[in-house]
Amino acid sequence: MSHIGRPGEPDKRSLRRGLLSVRNRLTADDLRETSAALAARALELPELARAGTVAAYVSVGSEPGTLALLDTLRARGVRVLLPALLADNDLDWGVYEGESSLARVRHGGGRMELFEPSGERLGPDAVTAADAVLLPGLAVDTRGMRLGRGGGSYDRVLARLERASARSSLVVLLYDSEVIEHVPEEAHDRPVHAVVTPSGVRRFSRPAD
């Protein structure tokens, strides 16, 4: 386990910079290998094995790869929801119908490019129907506290799930070195239930069956 975090309690911004600099050194071969391993590990999770609907996302750049997992879930008959970023940084949702159904969309004056579902939009509340929600992140600590990128989109998703009393399992996909000792937290932060890395799964808690 990496020990980024304590002592010194670096703030989230500096922690993000360090983690992103490590990701940016990954090669295309690294990304391919970890994507396949992540899919295999994630599919071992009971929360995904029994899910009828999973809210997920399409990885970009050096993020842990998700497409192999999305395709396998869809092949199993799982309804996969993908986000579309709105102007206020909230997320709308659409159904994943295969890689050909994705649209490349630029946000923030062209600085950020995402792959989003090109079909019907279901509204921000559609995520509350998900049995499991796959969250992007940069790190998770030993308590399950997640470090996001700081845009706030998934803070809104988690708040929406809480308001709806949804029982969605929260899962974050990371590289092995990103399971760290401590993530600085704020009052609105909520722990995830499990983290999946290429080497395995670590569960922090799970909703009652």
Q: What is the pLDDT of residue 20?
A: 92
Instruction: Give yes or no for a contact between 184 and 11, defined as CB atoms under 8 angstroms apart.
Output: yes
> What pLDDT is recorded for position 187?
74
Classify residue 1 by burial, with Cβ atoms within 10 Å: 0-12, 13-18, 19+. exposed
Which position has the token pair 């950020």?
Answer: 112
Question: Which residue type does 48 have?
Answer: L
Quick one: CA dihedral 56, 68, 1, 22, positive or negative? Answer: negative
**Which residues have a Cβ under 8 Å from the Cβ of 121 and sit 6 or more positions away?**
84, 92, 93, 94
Give the per-residue pLDDT at 1.
Answer: 43
Which residue bears the tokens 């940016």? Answer: 24
Give the residue carrying structure tokens 């989109």: 153
Q: Note the pTM of the prediction, 2 decimals.
A: 0.88
Could you tell me the residue ranges of all domains in the chain?
A: 12-203
Per-residue pLDDT tens for 69-79? Answer: 999 999 999 99
* SS3 state of residue 75: helix
The whole-number pLDDT of residue 137 equals: 94
The pLDDT, as a whole number, for residue 3 is 40
Calpha distance 31→60 (Å, rounded): 11
Q: Domain spanning 12-203: which superfamily? A: NagB/RpiA/CoA transferase-like (3.40.50.10420)
How confident is the model over 142-178, as pLDDT tens digits?
A: 999 999 887 889 999 999 999 999 999 999 999 999 9
Residues of the chain with confidence (pLDDT) below 50: 1-9, 207-209
Please report the pLDDT score of residue 92 as a whole number. 97
